[in-house]
Amino acid sequence: PVDSVLHPHLTNTPFPQFSCFLEQFFSAGYIQIKTLCRDFSNFKTNFLTGITYLDHAGTTLYPESLVREFYQDICTNVYGNPHSHNPSSRLTHDTVEHVRYRILQHFNTTPDEYSVIFTSGSTAALKLVAESFPWRPPTAAEPASQFCYLTDNHTSVVGIRGVISALGVVSLPVSPEEIEARAKDVDQSEGSSCQTPHLFCYPAQSNFSGRKYPLGYVRGIQARQLYPACDSKGRWFVLLDAASFASCSPLDLQEHSANFVPFSFYKMFGFPTGLGALLVRNDTAALLRKTYFGGGTAAAYLAGDNYYVPASNMSSRFEDGTVSFLDIIALNHSFDSLHTLTGGMDKIQLHTFGLTRYTYMLLSSLCHGNGQPVAQIYSDSEFENPSTQGAILNFNLMDCHGQMIGYSQVDKLASLFNIHLRTGCFCNTGACQLFLGITNQVVKSNLQAGHVCGDNIDLVDGRPTGSVRVSFGYMSTFQDCQNFLNFVADCFVEKPVKVDQDKLDRLKSNTSSKGSSQCLLTMLTNGKPDHIDEREHASTDLVVNQRGGKAITKDAKSHEKAQTLTNIYIYPIKSCAAFEVTDWPVGALGLLHDRGWMVVNGNRVCLNQKREPRLCLIHPQIYLPSNTLLLQASGMNAICVPLKNHSEPPQSHRVCQNMVCGDRVETVDCGDEAASWLSEFLGQPCRLIRQSPDFSRDMKKGHEKEVSSTALSLVNEAQYLIVNRASVDLQESSDDHQPLDTQTLISRFRANLVISGKEPFEEDDWSHLIIGNTHFQVTFGVYLVHQSLEDSNSTLSVGASVKSEMS
């Protein structure tokens, strides 16, 4: 009954394990509130159909009721500028002050203890502390101030170094182990006369691993009982970064009275965004120094003389200009929705921990058919207790040979399955280095190799540069766990799926529930688990289809077998249908005019089939003799667009900039006729743009492998994408779906060149290809670039011979 009441969509799942999950984690507090399920059921029906959202540490989602009630509020009431005194402005002022009180109430404190300073987010709050803290340089009588921070801190905390570097302030990174290991008893009277202010910053919860650091560190540092405070005289203040912690955990500032507490509201509620706050203890406020003063922050000042008196109210003094009052008013409804749907942060903490622990137990026990573990999990605990572990699971996946799988590959496949997660280092280099074993020198070497924060270079010399993170929120469900784990099993596990029974038993013993081991084992195996101790070790020389297809030994592959080119496809407009040809010129960027155009929406954002599936129904064709691009779609009159505009473009053909796969490209608008045609067919404002002929876009660093030609059109990765028919043919039927025919699979792969290889996956080992008279280099995977074109009139033709060289 509980399955059908809470999750009616689970009744047809092939893995009906929800009751098993409740048996294991019911005491962990899985939220069983009908209102929550109904509200998010409507939300998912309207907006999130088919989406598994697992990036709540990035931003959580907002419920439909929140937006609906906020809309009703601003449609009913008139809110004016709070710096005025008219009725609408007084309404705004009073509502904003009420929200300040609700924020303090949420953290179990009062206006007598703390002040709320609204900022644009947690980063702005940290910057405010950095710029206003009373840093002191060394003097003959007293030492310099120290800025000490845990190495497991967000970039925005470490960035405080940039403010203090010129002030003579000591910057000291502290590893998590040092805080308690180097603690010592200090005579509190010793150095009591020293008034040098020091600041220690640490996160209540790591945004990388979800580790929760003891909130008792606040008093321990303030009392100089913990390192580094025990080693330095002076007054110690604590900044507790609550940005990650506050999203799923209760924080009691009566018990843990940090001097500064920054956080962002979008991580707690999903809406509004662009709004955060800094909570400042009132007995600390007088120490802060502020230089710039904006509107609303002055009690009095003179324009013609250097005279300024700050506002007496702490919040008014630090909130320059008009606050984002409508966003603040939205917080009223955010708090209402949170409590109505969940009952409070204690329940949210238990709910999200239960889902995270369940996912951890299964993922950490999952093994390939040869017994090799599937995941390397980065954590300091085994998820035994919600007081020490948050709703974050960080890991990298490994293949059946124990080699790391790049996080970028996981991210791209997850996107195809509509699973939203996050990859990289998550703006926490310290934790990333610690867990991945990346030294300072390696970080610098990776930079020289072309890897920068936020790019997709996930492996350098076979070692990961980052990882994968999934995180849960109060609206996360058991089905989200199932979808993610099934995705891992389907795409990355060599079949048959196996589990580490000993580890499962040990993890099970950490909970009070009994009899649930088999439930965990059957989750991914349809009731037929294989155990590691029963396995037959597979050969490490197998090349395996990740979806469970047949294995082909490398020794069985032919190194000198002839292949032919069977199909040529060009995709004139990115994400639209293919245009098949039998022979086609090779241009400087690849096949001539391949992905030379793209469709953008009214906000100039590139549309793809994930955002707009109807793009696949647009059939562009290129006619070289007439220099035209023909657009066709069912129910629409065909139109022609010139391939090139030789004259000076009119205003409607303006030059603009757009983003393609993270690259900024210069484009030219193709005019109003094409825009009207696309807008009518797609049912939204659209425009057709093409890459500017004067603009050069190169392959990302790390992919070139010293290739001679790296210029790209609007493609994602490289000039050409190939597919081997033999690899496509090697597909097996699942229990629920009939296999697709080969041609349909090739069409879905959207390759430029289709070859008739002799063996499946032999292309994995190719380093060079010769098709006809054109030479290609394999850059990575199934992506090609052509080498220097000896003949400017080079052409590829169906039936041409294909010769390969092995790497």
**What residues are labeled active site?**
427
d(CA 117, CA 261): 10
Longest dimension (CA), the chain: 91
The torsion angles phi and psi of 499, rounded to 5 degrees, stand at -130, 150
d(CA 521, CA 365): 9
| Element spanning 381, H or E | none
Instruction: At 400, list the tokens.
Output: 């059946």
Estimate to the nearest angstrom the gap between the alpha carbon of 440 and the chain centroid. 24
Residue position matching structure tokens 């070790």: 537
285, 310 Cβ separation under 8 angstroms:
no
d(CA 92, CA 80): 6
Give the chain's length.
807
Per-residue buried b or exposed e for 498-508, using 16+ beta carbons within 10 Å of the residue's own CB: bbbbebbeebb
CB atoms within 10 A of CB 8: 11
Instruction: At 337, list the tokens.
Output: 């929705």
End-to-end CA distance of the chain: 58
ω into 272 cis (within 30 of 0) = yes
Strand 52-53 relative to strand 419-420, pairing: parallel
3-state secondary structure of 291: coil
Beta bridge partners of 777: 768, 785
Instruction: At 735, list the tokens.
Output: 């229990």
Instruction: At 286, list the tokens.
Output: 């007088």
d(CA 25, CA 37): 18
User: Which is nearest to 417 in space by CA: 469, 488, 317?
Assistant: 488
776, 784 Cβ separation under 8 angstroms:
yes
Helix (H), strand (E), coil (C) string for 384-436: CCCCCECCEEEEEEECCCCCEECHHHHHHHHHHCCEECEEECCCCHHHHHHHH
Q: Exposure of 774 by Cβ count < 10 A (0-12 exposed, 13-18 middle, 19+ buried)?
A: middle
Could you write out the DSSP letters of every residue in 657-685? EEEETTEEEEEEE--HHHHHHHHHHHTS-
d(CA 37, CA 31): 9
User: Which is nearest to 270 in space by CA: 63, 478, 54?
Assistant: 63
Instruction: At 123, list the tokens.
Output: 């980063």
Q: Exposure of 82 by Cβ count < 10 A (0-12 exposed, 13-18 middle, 19+ buried)?
A: buried
3-state secondary structure of 768: strand
User: For 611-712, where are the E strands, in sequence order?
Assistant: 619-623, 628-632, 639-642, 655-660, 663-669, 686-691, 697-698, 711-712
